[in-house]
Amino acid sequence: MRIRAGLFLVLVAVFSSFAGAAPADAPVPTRFLGECDIAFLVPSTLHDVSGSARCQPFPVRVARDASGKQAIPVVEVEVPVAAMDTRNRSRDGQMREMFRSDRFPRIRGEAHDVDVERIRAEIGKVRGGNASIDLLLRIRDVERKVRATASNLRESGERVTFDLEFPVSLGEFGLKAPSILGIIRVGDKVSVKATFTLTVSRSP
């Protein structure tokens, strides 16, 4: 799904560790290349249905705000509906019809004015800590704010990984859950978990 990037908030928080306690005018990494793998779980009257997708590569830019703090002005993530897979051709076809992928081929997510230092501090408070992030999620022509939870932050050299989890209500996006033979019905609440990887970019 195209999740425009609450996850990036967390990533940036991690990246701020590269700069450590450097003064506000010291050079810090400012460009990163992001990627993510997505897993989703859909409840139904027969059994839950799991699926997967992969977002398109996306850039992340870190800047300093007026007070000198590190921040991400905006980050956007897109997930092609055609890349969403439940390992069942018929079911996948119904899913694409629900999303009207012929007119709206991508699901999009974004985050604005991300306070990197706040996210980093919240995740680092306790072992296994997490932080909440507000995302703007667009499915078809409907956009809604979604509260996500970031966790499992890992830093290794110039690479950062973390998970972002959030629920999606089909009804809130004007989507009608499909049914099979009018008997097996899909539930409204879909659970989404995305694993993000950010890597320092050396390209201009």
pLDDT tens-place values along the chain, 204 residues long: 544 443 434 344 444 444 443 444 444 557 899 999 999 999 887 778 999 999 999 999 888 877 877 788 899 999 999 999 999 998 899 899 999 999 999 999 998 887 777 788 888 787 778 988 899 999 999 999 999 998 888 878 788 888 999 999 999 999 987 765 444 577 889 999 999 999 998 766
Cα–Cα distances in angstroms (integers) from residue 87 to residues 50, 51, 83, 165, 175, in the given order: 9, 7, 11, 22, 21
pTM more than 0.85: no
CA–CA gap between residue 72 and residue 70 (Å, rounded): 7
Q: Return the residue matching tokens 């990246």.
A: 15
End-to-end Cα separation, the chain, in angstroms: 28
Going from the C-alpha of 199 to that of each of 11, 60, 204, the distances in angstroms are 10, 10, 14
Q: Report the alpha-carbon distance of residue 32 to residue 61 in Å, rounded.
A: 6
DSSP summary character for residue 57: P
Q: Per the CATH hierarchy, to which homologous superfamily does domain 6-200 belong?
A: Lipid/polyisoprenoid-binding, YceI-like (2.40.128.110)
